[in-house]
Amino acid sequence: MSLARPSATFARTALAALALSGVLANAQAAVVNLRVTVENVAPADGVAFAPLHFGVGNGSFDGFNSGEAANAAIAAVAETGSGALWLPAFLAADPQAAVGSVGGPLLAGSTASMTLSVDSAVNQFFSFAAMVLPSNDKFLGNDNPTAFRIFDDAGNLLLGQINQFARQVWDAGSETTDASAAAFLGDASLHTAENGVVSFNFAELSAYNGLSTAAGYVFNNNLQADTAIYRIGLQVVPEPSSVAIVALALGLLVGTRRLRRA
């Protein structure tokens, strides 16, 4: 005994569902959900990190320049960990960018993540800034706004991980080194202007050796130039509604084929 062939209505429903899933996929191909994960991979009792402030944009936002005086936005990140100036500055330069903040204070071995929607057809470059703790004005960030292209023109993820090493710690040159005024050690509201320029400098963190941090451990700058200290993970994650519709379409198609074979 054989089962009746599927009705024309059922077949049309399956095909319509497949067509809908295709239209949906094409419509959302440019907009992706990007999960940003930060991880402190530095040795224990060493550096921690304030929140990572980041943006995915068209590569037009230049947050700072090596060898030049720090602007107010990057100085605020470097001295207090705040993105209150940096994030608006990013959007002012690139209004269609997607921006956010994640993590912090991030101690050794800790991770944090967040997910945001990104139009990958327009926004293909990743920029970031995060204060290094403890310090008066040390930070991580990219001098070149197009250094990290994470999407190609088809919306494919090109870069899944950004690693930072001790040699990539920046000194904003905006505040003198003083443990009593250093974030994570003293009163970060205190400030003595240095009037310097942005440059690499992780060795100066040794000025805080032996001091107790806000997290309760005694700081030890046990870093070498090639010591890995920070990792940014990038991952595209599916949107549940899209997955459900595609699954429904596939289910209808499989059901139709089974009935036809019966």
Q: Which two tokens stand for residue 50?
A: 């304030």
Under 8 Å between Cβ of 139 and 89:
no
User: Which two structure tokens, joined as six digits, stand for 131?
Assistant: 């204060």
Which has the closest alpha carbon to 102: 49, 43, 166? 49
In the prediction, which pLDDT does 7 show?
52
CATH number of the structural domain 29-257? 2.60.40.2130
| Positions of E strands within the chain | 31-40, 48-49, 52-57, 98-102, 111-119, 125-133, 138-141, 161-165, 170-171, 199-200, 228-237
pLDDT tens across 49-93, in order?
A: 999 999 999 999 999 999 999 999 999 999 999 999 999 999 999
Output the pTM of the full model.
Answer: 0.83
Paired tokens of 67: 């060898």
Q: For all residues of the chain together, what is the average pLDDT?
A: 87
Residue 239 pLDDT: 66
Give backbone dihedrals phi and psi of 7, rounded to 5 degrees, phi first.
-70, 160
